[in-house]
């Protein structure tokens, strides 16, 4: 299964592609950052990022596009642009009949390091380890996009999204659900914004 991860951003939008084989063996396929200049009008920035995402999706034809879930209270000066780019990634996938998934940063950290609150360096190190890279992917947006793809591959079977019941979960599923809940409570009731 080919997974294309997106770390949405208007200035830098990370894209990472991995192959998830048998026994959850993951291999690195591609990583890149699509950029747009803050000096460019907003509509042309969105067009540039969208065209870059379409180019990646059409080149790799992923089975799923996994995108970082954006919260309304995050880093306010850029959150709307980030949400718009996440929307463009969903659009570009939906136009091609490719399913999309959304994972929070906490879910990504948990899936990759075993802790939903792991520091960034630890996540980068584990991304490098999991994908057998010689060094951590740069810039950070590239690592986050690969992390998003890895998270989608490693999420526990039947992983639930926020709001569903935790009855009869395996320990891994319960830990996952708790990470989802924690990110909800830490950020107020914005979970279902997008």
CA distances from 28 to 23, 86, 126 (A): 16, 22, 13
Is the Cβ of residue 21 or residue 189 nearer to its own copies in the bound state? 189
Dihedral over Cα of 56, 60, 63, 66: its sign: negative
Contact assessment for residue 60 and residue 29, using Cβ atoms and an 8 Å cutoff: yes
The CA-based dihedral angle spanning residues 75, 7, 38, 47, taken in that order and rounded to the nearest 10 degrees: -130
Is the Cβ of residue 123 or residue 152 nearer to its own copies in the bound state? 152
Half-sphere exposure of 7 (CA within 13 A, CB side): 28
The catalytically annotated residue of 68, 107, 124, 144 is: 68
The catalytically annotated residue of 107, 141, 144, 164 is: 141
Q: Which positions ≥6 away from 152 have C-beta within 8 Å?
A: 3, 5, 64, 66, 101, 103
- In angstroms, what is the minimal distance from the CB of 12 to its own copies? 17
Is the Cβ of residue 104 or residue 113 nearer to its own copies in the bound state? 104
User: In the annotation, is 68 catalytic?
Assistant: yes
Is the Cβ of residue 161 or residue 178 nearer to its own copies in the bound state? 161
Which positions lie near its own copies, rule CB under 8 A? 41-44, 46-47, 50, 70, 72-73, 76-81, 83-88, 90-91, 93-95, 99-100, 102, 188-190, 192-194
The catalytically annotated residue of 7, 107, 124, 144 is: 7
- In angstroms, what is the minimal distance from the CB of 39 to its own copies? 13
Of the candidates 191, 107, 190, the one whose C-alpha atom is nearest the C-alpha of residue 149 is 107
User: In the annotation, is 7 catalytic?
Assistant: yes
- In angstroms, what is the minimal distance from the CB of 93 to its own copies? 6
User: In the annotation, is 141 catalytic?
Assistant: yes
43 labeled part of a ligand binding site: no
DSSP letter at 22? Answer: G
- Looking at the DSSP bridge assignments, the partners of residue 102 are 67
Dihedral over Cα of 120, 123, 129, 132: its sign: negative
- In angstroms, what is the minimal distance from the CB of 20 to its own copies? 21
7 labeled part of a ligand binding site: yes
Q: Binding-site residues, please?
A: 7, 68, 141
The catalytic residues are: 7, 68, 141
Q: Binding-site residues for Mg(2+), please?
A: 7, 68, 141
């Amino acid at each position: 299964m080919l997974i294309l991860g997106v770390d949405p951003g208007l200035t830098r939008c990370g894209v990472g592609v991995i192959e998830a084989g048998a026994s959850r063996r993951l291999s690195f396929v591609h990583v890149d950052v699509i950029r747009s200049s803050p000096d460019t009008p907003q509509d042309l920035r969105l067009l540039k990022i969208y065209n870059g995402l379409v180019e990646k999706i059409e080149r790799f034809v992923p089975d799923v596009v996994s995108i970082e879930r954006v919260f309304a209270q995050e880093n306010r000066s850029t959150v709307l642009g980030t949400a718009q780019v996440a929307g463009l990634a969903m659009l570009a996938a939906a136009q091609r009949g490719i399913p999309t998934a959304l994972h929070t940063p906490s879910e990504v950290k948990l899936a990759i390091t075993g802790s939903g609150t792991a520091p960034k360096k630890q996540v980068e190190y584990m991304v490098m380890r999991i994908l057998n890279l010689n060094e951590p992917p740069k810039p950070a947006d590239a690592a986050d996009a690969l992390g998003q793809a890895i998270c989608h591959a490693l999420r526990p079977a039947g992983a639930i999204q926020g709001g569903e019941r935790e009855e009869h979960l395996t320990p891994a599923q319960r830990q996952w659900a708790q990470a989802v809940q924690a990110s909800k409570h830490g950020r107020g009731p914005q979970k279902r914004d997008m």
